[in-house]
A and B are shown apart, each in its own frame.
Chain A
Amino acid sequence: MRDVLRLSVPLALWLAGFSGVYALQGLTCSRHWPEDLPARPALLVGWALAVLLQAVLLWLISRDPSPSRFVQGTSLALAAVSLLAAAWTSMPVALTSTCL
């Protein structure tokens, strides 16, 4: 079961981070967001956290290897994919208009 988690957790947390940033963006555009609080820095922080989380996972997996070579190789590759995905898919927070 630990092996199954090694393989699945980084990607699952990419999804959580991606959805979290999207939810944050929705929130910044809603009436609940305080007028005087700028949205973009908050979004950038969200993006950074999502990427950081993936970096930590990658580090954890490389530090505590699975006894199976196959699982170790594949889980490292998947953690790297998750890191790239986190960096790429939330990039719009830096590039586009926020609520248009």
Chain B
Amino acid sequence: MFALGGVLAMLIRAQLASPHSAFMGPEVYNQVFTMHGTVMMFLFAIPFFEAMTVYLLPGMLGTRDMAYPRLSAYGFWCYLIGAATMVVALVLGLAPADGWFMYPPLTSTEYSPGINADVWLLAITFIEVSAIAAAVEVVVTVLRYRAAGMSLSRMPIFAWYILVVAVMILTAFPPMILGSVLLETERALDWPFFQVDKGGDALLWQHLFWLFGHPEVYIIFLPAAGMIATILPVMARTTLLGYGWVVGAAVSLAVLSFGLWVHHMFTTGIPHMGLAFFSAASTLVAVPTAVQIFAWIGTLWKGRPELHLPMLWILGFFATFVIGGLTGVMLAVVPFNWQVHDTHFVVAHLHYVLIGGYVFPMVAAVYYFLPIITGRTRFFKLGEVAFWLVVPGFHVTFLAVHLVGLLGMRRRIWTYAPEDGWAIINLVASVGGFVTAIGFALIVVDIAVNAAVASRGRRNPWGAGTLEWATAIPSPSYNVASIPEVRGRYPLHDDPEIAVRIARGEGYLSWPTRKRRETLVVGTSRAEPLQVAVLPGNDGLPFVMAVATAVVFLAPLWDAYRTAGVALLVVIALALRWAWSNGSTRDEGPLDAGRGTSLPSAWEVPDPPGWWGSLFLLLADATMFGSLLFGYAFLWTVAPAWPPASYVAPGLLDVLLALVGAAALAAGPRLAARALLASRGPWIGLLVALAGAGALTAAAASIWAARPDPTSHAYDATLWLLGGFVALHTTLAAIILAYVCFRVAAGYASSVRIGETRIAQLWCDFAGSTGLVALAAAWLPGVFA
């Protein structure tokens, strides 16, 4: 994908190299730059660090695999199918052409007929599913699947960074997924969320997109920062200076970055005070960034650095990223922004931070971790040549792009006239760009050659201190033969023999006596061993389910809504089949976990891994709900064509249904769990909850009945969506409850095996509480009007 994005970049530079270029016409050029941005951001940057994480994280944490291996597989297939769809669209000339941020009204049916925009909205949302899946899995893995004794203060620094990033994905992607849903329903069903004359507002898209978009740039930067914080101390033959400060900086950056989104909208006519809030917040993020940079410089100072290839790339990062950060602060100053917004200056800024801050560190990471992947020591030195092509080439290109931006060249124009005076600078930029591209190609060659023929290397070639280097290289698929007990941040330094001990089976869960794949679940802060989790075996289900999910998302491109509906049913059936294969029909009691401990199976605890996964998935869901309320409130306050002709007012019966329904949803699962604990049948509780789901759905349906036409005004469309959100979640709760009924009947529950009932409780609580809030939001304006 990086290669594809790169080829597109070269096409752009070829087109802009000379004035009045006849290489591409505007239609093709629009598709090319849109796909370049989309591919780099969504198909390369995010999936690439996710892939590195899934591969490396379990080793760093000293565990056997990610928490949900089948979910990893499902995410991978979703990504692959989604990405392939985008590529096919590009080849067929059906690719999106409205810029990577897809602003309406340009992306509305009026100005973008044809399916190009729909390809973006549907395929990217589909790919987002895999990002969310990976994020849930990373959070649960870092919090619960670590080596014994690896308390929060002993976690490898990368684990901290990626934990922060995963939580950001769970809270940043939902606004954009919601935005895509709104825009797609507008395009497909004519629900007027962004049409000003019908009570919509195009600015709503910009808010939702940048609520995602700014955190997104940190979602991309922070994993790379985590790699630097991992690699730099090893290259300097020391340990990271100010570990606690770096963790603090990463956490603050993550949260602060959610308060910057309007700095992408400085020129939209928002009142000055609003702009000033975001300008202030944008300057503030320079502080934690500086803390990190100084911690790294201090680490170099304290150690004895060696200039291996990964170190070289990290130096390239420093030289580039600092400039990009500074142009970012310049852009955050409102008057300057008004001058250069939508010029090539912005293009230069974003490439300095994205390439300098992400690509360079990730190249360092690839070279650093190459021994784990290939088991070989690098021999041919093409990588150094490549470095000296890429970094200078990059600076030539994008320094020139800064300048041409200051000279007034707007971004996204397909050509320019010789009188504009931009010709020579653009030619320089293009030449630099081609040099950079040749350098990147050399890196690929270098890695391929060394992976194929370099000599076998020894374990832990860099002398690192973290657990991913404790295995033989290339690392085996189960990572560790037994799960170690660690006493410090750098276990390999604390105990040089630890690798041998792990291999000899001196840790936890060394012998597969129970003939299944097991791993250890620990407490979130102190990492004391708590449970024995069983990992699933190899399974084709994730692939089949990804294909079915693809049909759900992509069939609407051909208006094949019935096919999509059928596929959705298939997805649900497969998901239930998937869940069914977990669990056991008898109580095993405490299991021997090695080292003289015995622990319960994760199937016999109140908070099994599935409970934790549901909790964090619901965090994403809650953000989605919050974004929906935000959109509603936004239209209510600022959209010009409001208030609508009338507001909906609730009947007494509807309010009663909602209250009773939510109460039953809350009470039912608790009754059921209590009954199970007392070894009684849980049926009453489950039935109460099911009835509650029905009542709440009826209350939501009353809104649709009261306002039958969602196309008439954005208010009606919003009501439909609120009702839809409630009904979707009550339906999900009902499906889960029905599933639990079948599980109980089949013997999968007992007084210790109550985990599934508790998971149902989470989903019912969520459906009930969001249902009440959603209906209150729908009814309140009518009550007061």
Identify the A interface with B (CB < 8 A): 1-4, 7-8, 11-12, 14-15, 18-19, 21-23, 25-27, 29-30, 32, 66, 68-71, 73-74, 77-78, 81, 85, 88-93, 95-100
Residues A15 and B277 in contact, CB atoms below 8 Å apart: no
Identify the B interface with A (CB < 8 A): 143, 151-153, 244-245, 247-248, 251-252, 255-256, 258-259, 271-274, 276-277, 280-281, 284, 288, 524-526, 633-634, 636-638
Residues B276 and A96 in contact, CB atoms below 8 Å apart: yes
Q: A1-B524, A97-B272 are in contact. Are A71 and B153 (CB under 8 A)?
A: yes
Residues B284 and A88 in contact, CB atoms below 8 Å apart: yes
Residues B153 and A96 in contact, CB atoms below 8 Å apart: no
* Chain B residues closer than 8 Å to A22, beta-carbon distance: 274, 277
* Chain B residues closer than 8 Å to A68, beta-carbon distance: 151-153, 525-526
Given contacts A25-B274, A26-B274, 13 further A-B contacts (CB under 8 A): A12-B255, A15-B258, A18-B259, A68-B152, A69-B153, A85-B256, A88-B280, A92-B276, A92-B277, A96-B272, A97-B271, A97-B273, A99-B273
* Chain A residues closer than 8 Å to B252, beta-carbon distance: 11, 78, 81, 85
Output the least CB separation between B483 and chain A (Å): 22
Q: Cα distance A15–B383 when bound, in Å?
A: 43
Residues A73 and B244 in contact, CB atoms below 8 Å apart: yes
* Chain B residues closer than 8 Å to A14, beta-carbon distance: 255, 259
Residues A3 and B255 in contact, CB atoms below 8 Å apart: no
Contact of B277 among A2, A73, A90 (CB under 8 A): A90
Q: Cα distance A93–B272 when bound, in Å?
A: 10
Output the least CB separation between B225 and chain A (Å): 17
Residues A11 and B271 in contact, CB atoms below 8 Å apart: no
Contact of B637 among A12, A30, A92, A100 (CB under 8 A): A30
Q: Cα distance A21–B152 when bound, in Å?
A: 34
* Chain B residues closer than 8 Å to A77, beta-carbon distance: 244-245, 248
Q: Cα distance A77–B287 when bound, in Å?
A: 13
Output the least CB separation between A47 and chain B (Å): 10
* Chain B residues closer than 8 Å to A70, beta-carbon distance: 151-153, 244
* Chain B residues closer than 8 Å to A26, beta-carbon distance: 274, 634, 637-638
Q: Cα distance A21–B274 when bound, in Å?
A: 10
* Chain B residues closer than 8 Å to A99, beta-carbon distance: 271, 273
Q: Cα distance A73–B153 when bound, in Å?
A: 11
Q: Which residue of B lies closest to A97 (CB)?
A: B272
Contact of B284 among A2, A19, A89 (CB under 8 A): A89
Q: Cα distance A12–B664 when bound, in Å?
A: 31
Q: A1-B524, A68-B153 are in contact. Are A7 and B251 (CB under 8 A)?
A: yes
Residue in A1, A2, A100 whose Cβ sees the most chain B Cβ within 10 Å? A1
Q: 16 A-B pairs, CB-CB below 8 angstroms? A: A27-B637, A66-B525, A68-B151, A68-B526, A70-B152, A71-B152, A73-B244, A78-B248, A78-B251, A81-B288, A85-B284, A89-B259, A89-B281, A92-B277, A96-B273, A97-B272
Residues B152 and A92 in contact, CB atoms below 8 Å apart: no
* Chain B residues closer than 8 Å to A78, beta-carbon distance: 248, 251-252
Q: Cα distance A4–B142 when bound, in Å?
A: 12
**When A and B form their complex, which 3 residue pairs have the shortest distance between CB atoms, in order from nearest?**
A70-B153, A92-B276, A11-B255
* Chain B residues closer than 8 Å to A91, beta-carbon distance: 280
Residues B272 and A74 in contact, CB atoms below 8 Å apart: no
Q: Cα distance A85–B251 when bound, in Å?
A: 14
Contact of A100 among B143, B153, B251, B272 (CB under 8 A): B272
Q: Which residue of B lies closest to A27 (CB)?
A: B637
